[in-house]
Structure formats: C-alpha cells, structure tokens
Amino acid sequence: MTEVQIQPTGQGTTTRRRRAGGLALLVLLACAGVYLVGNNRMALFDRDEGWYAEVARNMLASGDWVVPRCQGAVFDTKPVFAFWCQAVSMGIFGPSEFAARFPGVFFSILTLILVYWAANFFAGVRRALWTIAILGTGALFMAMAKSALVDAEQMFFIAVAEICLAFLYSGRRGYWICMILWVSSALAILTKGPVVLGTLAGTMLALAVLDVGKKFHSPRAWIRATKWWWATKPWLALLVVPVVVGPWLFMIHQRDPAFLSIMLQRNFLGPIFEKPLNDRRTIPGFYLMIIWPCFMPWSLILPLTFVQSWRNRGVPAIRFCLAAVVGPLVVIELVKQKLPHYLLPLAPPLAFLMADAIVHVLRHRVDDLKTGLAKIAVSIWTICVVLCALAPWVLLIPKYHVPFSPLAAGIFTLIGAGLAIWIARSFWQRRFRLVFVGMCAGSMAVMAVLAALLIPSVQPLLAAKQAAGAMWADGYKIGDRVVLMDYTEPSISFYLKGGGMIEDDSYLNVIQEANWPTWLVTSSLQRDRMPASQLAEYTQVGTFQAWNTGASRGNRLIVVLRRNSPG
C-alpha cells in the first residue's frame, strides 16, 4: 500500500521547521488560554454538564469509583472513564466548575499536540500548523473543550485510533501500532461506549470504496482494497479490549447487575437502531446542515475543501482523511439519534483537509477563491457571522426579558461583526493569508469574550447556582432533604454537594406531612398549583429566572421554598 504521505515541498530547512514549531507552540498556548478563560465564571448550565459534574463529585466524596450516581440514583447512561477524570480533577482543584471542565481542556490540548505530530509526519510542518490552527479554533471543538462533557476525552482516543489506522493503511506494520490502536479504542469504549468502532468501521469502508474506484463490480478489486484490514490484527482486539474494559464491567455487574443491560439497551442500542432518547425529532441530512455552524468560522472554505480533496483523492493522505470524514459521517447519519457534537470525531481529519486546501491557495495552485461564486459565498458567510454577533440583543425583546450585561454584549458584537467585515474585505482584496489568520484569531477572541463576559452575565444560565447559593445563605446543611418538583436541572445537586431528589408533582400528596422535605425547589407554575395548606408549611426563599430546563412548558421561573419546621 502506498504510504499515506504528502511530500512537503520546500519545507525541509531547519530554520523553517523551527519557525513553524514556534508558531505551533504559540497556537497551542493561545488555544489553552481560550479553553481555560471563564471556566470558573460560567455556571454549569447544560443539563449534561450538571449530570457529569455531580457524578464525579459524588465519586470523590463517597469513594465509590465503580458505580456512577447522581441525585441519589444510579447514573446508567455512560461508562465511567470521563467521570474518573473529572473526579481526579476535583481532587486537585476542588469541586468547582473549573475542575469539572478541566479534563475537556486537557484532552483537547492533547488532541491538538497529537494531530500536529501526525500531520507533520505525514504532510510536513506547514500543513500541520494550519491543521491545528483550524482544529483548535473551530466552534464545535472549542465548545467541547470548554464543557464538562465526555466528548473531548472520546475525541482524543478516537484520534489516536484513527492515526494508528493511517499508519497501518500506509504499509507500516508492527504490534505496537496495533496495541495502541486497540488500547485507545478500549479507552474510548470506556468513555462513551462503542462509538469508536463505528468511526473506524466507517473510515475503513470508505477507504475501500475509494481504493476500488471504477472497479466497483470486481471482487478482486474489493479483496485487494480490504486486504490491509488484517494488519489491524483484530484478534488482538479480542485480548486487549477485555483487559482494559473488563475489570470495570465485572465490578459494575457485581454491584448493580442491571446497569450494563440498561446502559446498552436504552442508551446505546436504542438510540442507534430504534428511536432517539427523549423522542428528539430528527430529519434526513441533519449533519449536512449542522456541519456549517459547527465548523465556523472555517465553514467558509468547506466547499473548496471538499472540491480540492476530491481532486486530490489520489494522494494517500488526502484519501485517508477524506474517508475518515465521509465514512463516519454516513455512519452517524444512519443512527437514529442525531446531535451536533456527534460530528466531533470528524474534526481532526476535516481540519487536515482544510489545511491542505489553504496551503494550495497560499501557493497560488488553485483559483477557486477568486471566482464570483466565492465572493457571493463570503458575503453570505459575513452576513451570518454579523447576525450571530447581534444575537445577544434578542434577549432584550420583552417576550424574553432576560437580564444580561449590555457591556459584554456590546464587546461581543463589536469584535464579532468587526472581524467578519474585515475578513470579508481582505477576502475581496485577495489577501488570503490575512483572511485565514484573521479567522483563527477572531474565533479565539469571540470565544474568550463569550466565556469570560457574556455567558456569565446571562441570568437564566445562573439560576441553579444562584438558587443553591440562596439555600446555603438561608441555612442549608449537607444532609437536608431537598426535593425537586417540576424542575430537573441536575447542576443544582452539584452546588448543594449532593442535595436534591427528583419527584413527581404529586409528591407532597402521597407522603405523610411529617416526612415532607426541608427544601423544595420547583417551578412557579407548580408552586401556584400547590394547596394553601402545603404552602403554609413553607417559606419562599427566592425566585430565579431560568430557561426551560425540565420545568413546565412555558415556565421561566424557579422557586426555592424552605419548610417552617424541620421535615
């Protein structure tokens, strides 16, 4: 098999390599700064962030590193590796939003380092530098790097496995490559289930289709195109994966025999083959639509990237990355459950393809960005970016009436809209290097302002943290019984250090009054439905504006109630 490599032209000098290495280090440091800034100021406003942070906090507090638990119940939706990472982080930094999000930052930077090394090995320092600049400043990648989710960890392990696959496809053989391939795959399984297997299978099948080409009807062509699959040593996977994953599987089955069957059926097989979780509506072609905002600002060159990649599909490195994008994209499109962050494993190979397209543009090898159609595309892109920059001001509409910082919104709008217009102007002047550098720097600046200033000022995103703060100020103690009715935001349990049990709306009607909880956190609609006899037993501590996070449809106010006498 031909080596997966683009021979770098004119990049072999030591000086150029040192300069590129210095720029790569600068990109990595800038990305790390952006990924860290504001992480201690943003509350855990995403539902999954609240779940995962509370599971990790509970692990650290209880010492039970086997069974994930959240709000008093077994959390059987994900395997355990990412929770271990968050728990270790909380052990170092203390239980906080910063600690919950730090593993995402850590594994995202590891991914950038790994991708730089691989791109440099296969294609030279110039493409490697542009690859990490594009990857590290893409909207989806930055969002996952700054979140307390499990996707950054999974992406790293999938990237390791895909790079090992690239080595094997290139003709390099060795047990150590296969060992790394299957160990990283096992850790990806321990992080988020068998997603990695679908990603690798999609890549390998897409490579076979590209290698077969016009000989689609020839069995011999298919045999030749898939012969290298045996180089992955699948028998080794049967040994390595059980060794890595097996101990936790054994212990969790001993502790909770129903855990694995529930996780596999409800959270893996069900969403893949039957229906999405929570009956989320999906439409065919979902990812072809969502890929544009997910890869902003670089979606401007998505059309050029795919055209250029198809033209150069005969180059093995391009062929492999094209397969690593298209194959997994088809796989996730076939899955019933569709969410934007499922695109994340596609980000590294797509960034490499974009970097290759950029290098060709800067070397004046292609003129696709000089056409009238390209000018129309950049005009549409500019309008979209300006509208996004203006989006915070929608919160001033009386229908929403959401408190936020106008100063933060103004800075966000000025930076976002100003950079978009400047980039468009540079594009029309054919100053493409400035365009690409501006997209990189502008994306970082916008994310920094968003995380450090704007998001922390939006009141509904702070509701759970502020409600918990009011409870602590009013005498809440660890161990007090807290019941959540018509409000299921899990992050409040994190801020209460474990307090909070979700119950249905009739909870107070079916238990004895002596067993009523000390604290109630509910929606204003549920409070208004409570009988006067029940309300008389409680004092309202505060109300907090929130968005629809588990509360009744249309409700945007949560209420904290404290019982007048011990419950």
Lowest mean pLDDT among 12-16, 50-54, 172-176, 521-525: 12-16
Distance (Å, rounded) from C-alpha 354 to C-alpha 306? Answer: 8
Helical pair 14-36 and 432-449, crossing angle rounded to 10 deg = 30
Distance (Å, rounded) from C-alpha 500 to C-alpha 497? Answer: 9
For CA atoms 176, 180, 182, 186, give the dihedral sign.
positive
Phi, psi (degrees; rounded to nearest 5) at 528: -70, -20
- pLDDT tens readout for residues 245-280: 999 999 999 999 999 988 888 877 777 776 777 666
> Taking residues 338-345, what's their average pLDDT?
92
Distance (Å, rounded) from C-alpha 357 to C-alpha 379? Answer: 20
- pLDDT tens readout for residues 151-166: 999 999 999 999 999 9
* Backbone angle region of 285, left / alpha / beta, with phi > 0 → left and psi within -120 to 50 → alpha: left
Could you say which DSSP state residue 430 is in? T
Q: HSE, CB side, 13 Å, CA atoms: give it for residue 225.
A: 22
| DSSP run (H or E) holding 544 | strand 538-545
Lowest mean pLDDT among 135-149, 319-333, 490-504: 490-504
Instruction: Provide the 3-class DSSP secondary structure of residue 420.
Output: helix
- Tell me: cis bond preceding 234? Omega within 30 of 0 counts: no
Query: 36: which 2 tokens?
Result: 């860290």
Helical pair 347-362 and 125-136, crossing angle rounded to 10 deg = 120
**pTM of this structure:** 0.93
- pLDDT tens readout for residues 450-485: 999 999 999 889 999 999 999 999 999 998 999 999
Name the residue with higher pLDDT: 280 or 79: 79
At 550, is the pLDDT very low, low, confident or very high (cuts 50, 70, 90)? low
Q: Which residue ranges make up each domain of the chain?
A: 14-362, 373-457, 461-563
Distance (Å, rounded) from C-alpha 184 to C-alpha 191? Answer: 10
**Residue that has been written with the tokens 């019941």 in this structure:** 483
Cα dist. 222→158, 209, 218, 229 in Å?
Answer: 26, 8, 7, 12
Q: What is the mean pLDDT of the chain?
A: 90
At 4, is the pLDDT very low, low, confident or very high (cuts 50, 70, 90)? very low
3-state secondary structure 215-278: CCCCHHHHHHHHHHHHHHCHHHHHHHHHHHHHHHHHHHHHHCCCHHHHHHHHHHHHHHHHCCHH
